[in-house]
Structure 1
């Protein structure tokens, strides 16, 4: 029996070591493919943009910086494995997204793209506001892509860092205001798994 316990202990340690190492190895491999991930163009392949869906009402009293602030607060809640806080912040973010003013300073194409991006992002933020933490993280992946696409149109007041975790769901990105990697997809399980992909000014 003691041999079985020690064997299981060794297997468990080996598994943890391999998982941590594979995160580092994937980071190295990711260096060669960063270019493929740095261009994050919004598309409709996730099936959330149906033509028959009613157009969102934009109240026009919000801005992209408010959305980013709410997004970063949500990211921090997921980093901290705080499901209840992430639910609250998902609802807050859905509201700030819906309030984005797209009435001026954008071309017609940019306005159309922003409305499409925001509609998708609101849906994912709402899902986050009513889900368990694993499901929140699934929606946060797509939400992060939407927010990145929004920033490509609206710009940002401060420098942002696009970060990438090779381990989560085949590879997943998110935005941060710091170069320090704090992984929202794994939280305390693999807090520092990932790397900075690019700087966004």
Structure 2
């Protein structure tokens, strides 16, 4: 009888230990999920900010295609604000450093576009386009983008577009369809 009581007590103790271990494992798993969810939320915020930058970039590009200096200036200012609002904290340390440099440079060009005439806007758009391409290489995008290239402007110049139809922001109405799709992104 004593052995039976000891066996029952040992089994109860084992069952309680097993239950506690399961609860602890569940808590660790839930905590890990919360960490992962927080990380996903941070990336979603950064993704949304990167997509906002792209949206403003495309609006600027379209204003340049339309030869609209005033609209390009407004869109340049909007883009500068979107760039300043970008939060790179969810990226790796190396990516954060690269993004910081890219964003600073792109912001400077967007601000110049906001204060310049068409020819100067287009000069800054060339470097800005390189910056935005570099940003997308790090942040990625949920959209399909097209890197387009004009061999005529300033020894050859690229830009991003959300359409595969070439509409040249460097020459606008003068040479609207000058260029080609260089590559598809995403």
2:97 pairs with 1:74: no
Q: Which residue of the partner structure matches residue 153 of structure 2?
A: 168
2:72 pairs with 1:86: yes
How far, CA to CA, are the matches of 1:164 and 1:88 in structure 2? Answer: 25
How far, CA to CA, are the matches of 1:77 and 1:85 in structure 2? Answer: 6
More helix by share: 2
Q: What SS class does the counterpart of residue 95 from structure 1 fall into?
A: helix
For structure 1, the residue ranges without an aligned partner over 5 or more in a row are 1-59
Q: Which residue of the partner structure matches residue 39 of structure 1?
A: none
Q: Which residue of the partner structure matches residue 108 of structure 1?
A: 93
Q: Which residue of the partner structure matches residue 65 of structure 1?
A: 51
Deviations 1:11-52 (A, max 9, x none): xxxxxxxxxxxxxxxxxxxxxxxxxxxxxxxxxxxxxxxxxx
Could you say which structure has the greater relative contact order, defined with CA pairs below 8 angstroms and 6 or more residues apart? 1
Deviations 1:126-182 (A, max 9, x none): 000000000000000000000000000000110000000000000000000000000
**Which structure has the larger Rg over C-alpha atoms?**
2
CA RMSD of aligned residues (A): 1.1
Runs of 4+ in 1 over 4 A off after TM superposition: none
The alignment of Structure 1 onto Structure 2 pairs a total of residues equal to: 141
Q: What SS class does the counterpart of residue 192 from structure 1 fall into?
A: coil
For structure 2, the residue ranges without an aligned partner over 5 or more in a row are 1-44
